[in-house]
A and B are shown apart, each in its own frame.
Chain A
Amino acid sequence: MSRSDVLVDADWVEAHLDDPGVVLVEVDEDTAAYDKGHIRNAVKLDWRKDLQDPVRRDFVDRHGFEQLLSERGISNDDTVVLYGGNNNWFAAYAYWYFRLYGHRNVKLLDGGRKKWELESREMVTAVPDRPRTSYRATEQDASLRAMRDEVIAAIGKRNLVDVRSPDEFTGKLLAPAHLPQEQAQRAGHIPTAKNIPWSKAANDDGTFKTDDELRALYQGEAGLDFGKDTIAYCRIGERSAHTWFVLHELLGLPQVKNYDGSWTEYGSLVGVPIELGEAR
């Protein structure tokens, strides 16, 4: 796996957005963004309505994922190009789902919606009409997803990467600063976790930093041991999907899991250890 297998740039998208076999998919934190304008021929996935179970706290199951992609007109052989706002954080989250359910050819648009918009490239409101398909997903790939007991067992043994902002890590804030702060859970971080905010992997324009810069950031500056297995987490698992993408897909570390329960689960568990303040 290398950068060219998992990332495309805006010029590539402009050249291929009419290709049969290429499907653009927008996934935003702001689920109304697509309706205001999107890249021509792009379909929308709503991370909350489409990708989450409506009752239990879990994401859509295999059958639900098959139904969703069939309904959106996406085939198993299609090249899926995901993009979204806020440095692709929810697009990276959707990318992780596509990998979990075994989609072979999926990529991110480097820089996402923001770079496309700031370069004043074409946006449309027309919604494409894609005929229904019969999508078949695989069972979830358990090697990509960490559950809470595995996270507790990993304290002090594996790399734990907390990708939230420094103020969330130390306990000053409970959520990213563009969201209301009321939460019924404890603040802080999982003991032995290193704080490497997800946003450090991206440039201001939303593109990923170079492989050399990323290695310097995670290995050099933060002291992550690339020889160990790694679990990334944030608040609800979407920013950590962005870091999972960096470590697993761009830098090619073999064992990296995303803990999608993240702080909203861990910080609500009874009896688990929590650290406040700076990393020790």
Chain B
Amino acid sequence: MSAGQGCGAPAGGAAVPAGASGEAVIEGHVTRAGAPLPAGYARLLNDGGEFVAEVPLGDDGGFRFFAAPGTWTVRVLAPGGVSTDQTVTAGYGRSTAVEVSV
């Protein structure tokens, strides 16, 4: 039985718009002088500038967030006191790519 039929409540609850299971992904990579930067962090801020999440960069300098449709800021923190922001727009069912060079 699929969610939303019979006695099953809709997956994700009433307040979550249709298509939520498609995810609104924001992902990308951080490089320094053309090489992947694994020693750093990516932060996601909402359109009000509020902190939403933070992840350490992967071995390939990569990061991924599961956001909601809308405008977001990706902030990258890297050794040497580096902090750089990029604004991105996310939508359900697609992945928004962000490439950051620090």
Contacts and interface: CB of A to CB of B under 8 A. Distances in A.
Say whether A associates with B.
Answer: yes
Interface of A: 30, 33, 85-87, 114, 117-120, 165-167, 171-188, 197, 199-200, 204-205, 267, 276
B68 A167 contact: yes
A179 B43 CA distance: 13
A126 to B, nearest CB: 19
A199 B15 contact: no
A87 B11 contact: no
29 contacts: A30-B55, A85-B56, A86-B55, A114-B77, A117-B39, A117-B79, A118-B39, A118-B81, A165-B50, A165-B53, A166-B46, A166-B50, A171-B13, A173-B67, A173-B68, A177-B44, A177-B68, A178-B64, A178-B66, A181-B12, A182-B21, A183-B12, A186-B13, A186-B14, A187-B12, A187-B14, A187-B15, A187-B16, A197-B50
Nearest to B72: A177
| Residue with the greatest number of chain B CB neighbours at <10 A, chosen from A30, A85, A175, A204 | A204
A165 B47 CA distance: 12
Contacts of B83: 204
Given A30-B56, A175-B66, A181-B12, 15 more contacts: A33-B56, A87-B54, A117-B39, A118-B39, A118-B81, A167-B52, A167-B68, A171-B13, A173-B67, A177-B53, A178-B55, A180-B66, A186-B14, A187-B13, A187-B16
Given A114-B41, A165-B50, A177 B13 contact: no
B15 A86 contact: no
Contacts of A187: 12-16
Nearest to A205: B77
Contacts of B15: 171, 186-188, 276
Contacts of B75: 204
A165 B46 contact: yes
A165 B52 contact: yes
A180 B16 CA distance: 14
B91 to A, nearest CB: 14
Contact of A172 (B55, B56, B68): B68
A183 B9 CA distance: 11
A30 B81 CA distance: 23
Given A117-B79, A276-B15, A176 B52 contact: yes
Contact of B79 (A119, A173, A174): A119
Contacts of B77: 114, 118, 204-205
In the A-B complex, the 3 residue pairs with the closest CB atoms: A186-B13, A199-B51, A171-B15
B4 to A, nearest CB: 12
| Residue with the greatest number of chain B CB neighbours at <10 A, chosen from A187, A188, A267 | A187
Contacts of B46: 165-167
Nearest to B56: A85
B87 to A, nearest CB: 15
A97 B55 CA distance: 24
A86 B54 contact: yes
Nearest to B14: A186
